[in-house]
Chains A and B, each alone.
Chain A
């Protein structure tokens, strides 16, 4: 695996995905997505992630990592330590996601013995060779999208959901396509806890469609958290590659020292 592939800002940790605020009842689609976006992620989050990459021949590759995130007002600092496989062990990725300026990100490769800054405005690239893009991990900026209901009531696996479609706003279409790689999206949002439990993404290139689902949703430290995330990439109606992420040891609002988010911390490893 080429470690230089960590080309886009990732910070926000995997545990930051899809964790939601109290349910709403009479909202329009835009308001629902704003509620999803404004969900409580916890001031800090720590988790272990096992990521299983499955190719079309069902051959598996497994990556394991430790993620730490801390909120600083509107800004977020995050660091990911890669634990396996052996050829990426002790690699670390750190990102500062600034609300009002471009993100900063750095990569430490133990073999190079150097922390190096990486520049990647483009977040549509694959995260560690998976089917999740960096924008999937980081989350998309809802201000760039127009949302509307497809169904205000839809039963999905026995739970009530909203089905919402999203298209980039005309003035942001090119930038959104560049940054996320998506032309439009369709999401299923659970009404009881505002978790996105299913999604469909139309990729701007290659006639690819990606399917997402969230499972094993548990309330941890008062925050609804999906512990199993699956993303499947299809091309012309056939599955080409899949990724399953399994989170464990998730902790919110514990004490995380600022010293985790420094170059020396990247070098020292977890």
Chain B
């Protein structure tokens, strides 16, 4: 798993290529004005084509003849999706995913001021059975093989046109970044397939009350968090086992324990947003459970190993985000200060040995330390090239009062690059997505193309590489998980 191996296309080379492409495009492809390729004739009055509209008129006639759908307070819809993934670099079980999924949604507009929305999802990961992969029998693993989930279930209502309430299971997304989680601390994420899942599928709902008061340029939001499901993580039989670095011989990792849902809020968030011409600025504060679980030492096991249990700890934060539109570029900034965040320790064995030698109780094993952290993000989204949108985001996390027994480094960096290129009137979309992680120089690179056969049926083909041979990178255990994938979607 840690054998040196080169990613087929190194991300840095790809980035250079993209930048070169952006800078060196022939003038005709850029938005810079150019002389026309041929001399423009002062045209004749009649069209130089017999009837340029004939084909459009004929094709659209039948569609236009059909009456528009009658407005209804009810809406039902959803999609069916079938995903196949082949892990071509794996030594066995190359069929990594064979997953049918159904997503259903319903909306009911109760009145002009009130509406309700429910979405449910069910999926089955057939690859586990087909590859006879070992199943450890943990609850988390069962969740991954059979997924049945009430996602959103909320009611929206408004009072006096400027006060709005959303109550129920909902997704709450804050912050400027498309990917990084600085101020986006409320909704957890599905982390079972890192780098493969679109962010819209990765965001997970939770039960919350959200109250918003707004004027033309100022918005104040308050959120009470009543449920905390935590990030969804892959188990030991999955390709992306979240606890793989800890799953050493003799170490038992038990099912995770999430905080119970309660009538009283378990956390809260506050956001104040002010919009100016070309700029939005938001101040955010809150206290809630950290979405990343902490492994807590439980006891020694009979075989001389140890049992660890994933759990969740609260943290507090305050931060600011801002954006600025400059021509075709949107500049984004985010900063956050977290205090009392639980940071995982990695020296369980050393502590156990020291305590045992000193004749002290193992109750004194420290699983984590509370530390303050500062994190900054800067990014730019550029849309000034034909049918191409480029996004670059970079962030730096600093853990204060750092000590080497912590699993984090003093400084951690991540960079996200995304390029979307659209062809044939948005029928074919190409996407390049690259994540670079430091320390350890880990890279996740995904290239995919999605073609819309009709308004209802589309197919996506792609390839993902995990360049993670350095033991210091947090994705080191994903080194051999390169894969090609195919996703077919029928929406209705």
Q: Give A residues with C-beta under 8 Å from B.
A: 1-2, 4-5, 7, 48, 50, 52-55, 58-62, 64, 84-87, 89, 98, 101-102, 104, 109, 111-114, 116-122, 124-126, 128-131, 150-151, 154, 163, 165, 173-174, 177-178, 181, 183-184, 186, 200, 202, 204-207, 209, 211, 213, 228, 230, 232, 234, 237, 239, 241-244, 246, 248, 257-259, 261-264, 268-269
Contact = CB atoms under 8 A, between A and B. Distances in A.
A244 B427 contact: no
B156 A102 contact: no
B379 to A, nearest CB: 12
Contact of A178 (B33, B172, B326, B330): B33
Interface in B81-115: 107, 115
B97 to A, nearest CB: 21
Given A2-B420, A184-B40, A258-B216, A264 B277 contact: no
A209 to B, nearest CB: 8
Nearest to B112: A257
B221 to A, nearest CB: 9
B231 interface: no
Interface in B238-295: 273, 275, 277-278, 280
Contacts of B63: 50, 52, 60, 62
Contacts of A151: 45
A150 B37 contact: no
Interface stretch (B47-55, B300-308, B365-373): B47-55
B348 interface: no
Nearest to A96: B277
B148 interface: no
Contacts of A5: 387, 389, 422, 426
Contacts of B201: 111
B326 A183 contact: no
B384 interface: yes
Given A112-B200, A259-B161, A119 B43 contact: no
Contacts of A173: 33
B60 interface: yes
A205 B47 contact: no
7 contacts: A48-B68, A52-B64, A122-B384, A177-B34, A178-B31, A234-B52, A241-B425
A46 to B, nearest CB: 12
B323 to A, nearest CB: 5
Contacts of A257: 161
B199 interface: yes
Given A86-B492, A117-B323, A129-B426, A54 B53 contact: no
A262 B75 CA distance: 23
Given A61-B455, A86-B79, A205 B323 contact: no
B351 interface: no
A2 B429 contact: yes
Contacts of B48: 209, 237
B173 A112 contact: yes
Contact of B64 (A1, A186, A211, A244): A244
A188 to B, nearest CB: 9
A165 B327 CA distance: 29
A137 B325 CA distance: 21
B33 A85 contact: no
B43 A200 contact: yes
A168 to B, nearest CB: 9
Contacts of B429: 1-2
B59 A54 contact: yes
B216 A119 contact: no
Nearest to A237: B49
A258 B217 CA distance: 12
B139 to A, nearest CB: 27
B73 to A, nearest CB: 12
A264 B426 contact: no
Contacts of A125: 383, 386-387
A241 B49 CA distance: 15
A196 to B, nearest CB: 15
A126 B145 CA distance: 42
Given A118-B330, A269-B115, 19 more contacts: A7-B383, A55-B425, A104-B278, A117-B280, A118-B383, A119-B328, A126-B426, A128-B426, A129-B426, A130-B425, A183-B36, A204-B33, A211-B52, A239-B56, A243-B56, A244-B56, A244-B60, A264-B212, A264-B214
B424 A55 contact: yes
A119 B325 contact: yes
Contact of A117 (B43, B55, B212, B325): B325
Given A54-B60, A62-B455, A150 B45 contact: yes
Contact of A234 (B40, B49, B79, B323): B49
A104 to B, nearest CB: 6
B32 A178 contact: yes
Nearest to A72: B216
Query: A-B pairs with the 10 shortest C-beta distances?
Result: A111-B200, A129-B426, A177-B33, A242-B56, A119-B325, A119-B330, A86-B491, A85-B455, A113-B171, A114-B173
Contacts of A117: 280, 323, 325, 330
Contacts of B425: 53, 55, 126, 129-131, 241
Contact of A122 (B31, B75, B330): B31
A234 B33 CA distance: 20
Given A86-B492, A202-B36, A113 B330 contact: no
